[in-house]
Chains A and B, each alone.
Chain A
């Protein structure tokens, strides 16, 4: 793989994202929504709040920001191929010497890096605000919640899954809106499992979390390989393989 060509793809994608109002809105509004809701839940906890309600609010508040790491990359990945095909920019790129692995890696990195940054910023802001302004028991509950630390590991894995699923759909889709919808749907299964951990349906111990993370990592690696195969020039140009 040629790193300078990967860098060229990343650079171009960043330049396009910056000037695309839809991308800017998606990347800014969703994180704000998923930050305000959970933070407000924690700040609303009073010292007198009953224990069950207290736990439920903490679990819910720690889970919601994780959706940022799925929804933002899923939407960007959904556009990555079908959007370019729609505006006719994909074909000229495919006539250059860029290889499929370079194109896939460049496009995936251009989504992964900002998605990771935004997700961690949301969790960081949530943590900082709750530690500064929440009542002491709530702040302590957040600080000691295992989900908070599990999220740090799950965020890149969930983002990667959302990107691969979104890009796979994007290579096959002929309509941008359909690609967005399917991409969001396809990113949900691993989120559902993460939700089971967050809401204590599956006991969030170290072993189960590590197994889930390892499983997700394996799936991400397989998906990376699968998406690379889908980046066949004929399929990308025609939307199908003859």
Chain B
């Protein structure tokens, strides 16, 4: 078996194991066999006696399972978006937040919570939509601020400047409306607590489009890694490739942020692991990130909802505990290579 095939199998097994663990563990005490039998029972032409009451089955199918699936989806999206950004900017420490995406989502969600009734208002539907649009708007403003230039440094610095401005606006708003502080921070640290099949089906079309584009462009990211001049001399339209990948990665990140709030580090940690597992080619880094990212966030969510049960840890805290040391490790390794 080639290294690529082996890496894909390992990542797929990790994803499935994380999904199973997520389904098996929870506040309600459901028997493992009952859970497995209920899941198998959903397969057409398979009929099993699950041994679970209707209430237990509902807990599994309508509360626990959509949450697991949403965590897998969001993790995959965040990781594949991070890998896409890293390919475009030729830097393993870049994440979706650096082009104004997170700051845009943060400001828009804060506005929705403060002025439109927040997480409980309008059936809680306003905040995800606001975060989605805010995330995309943050990226659009960053691209606009770069003055149409598509060079790496100009784009990144524009993103940083726009991000700082949007964060300042959000902080000012929070200072004025401090009664909403807790709600905003609860959203910002990310949560899967409100997961439902509706959220999954709403996120799925955006996820499918962004993932498809990113996977299609994965080989071009390998060419882009040679620098703009050499990439163009190989026939690649470097500027257009960069814009398309940024747009697709931003759509993926915006979809994730809309259904889960801000969850940090997944987009940096997971592509790093993918590279260690499968090598530097984005043709493999992107699909591996998708699988490992899903598994990673699935595990993180299981930890978030069980470690302080019945209370919950914000999932962003769990990913930060794992992600921050890995980030520092990559930073040191990158510096060592340059030195």
Whether chains A and B associate is no
Name A residues whose Cβ lies closer than 8 Å to a Cβ of B: none
Interface residues of B (CB under 8 A from A): none
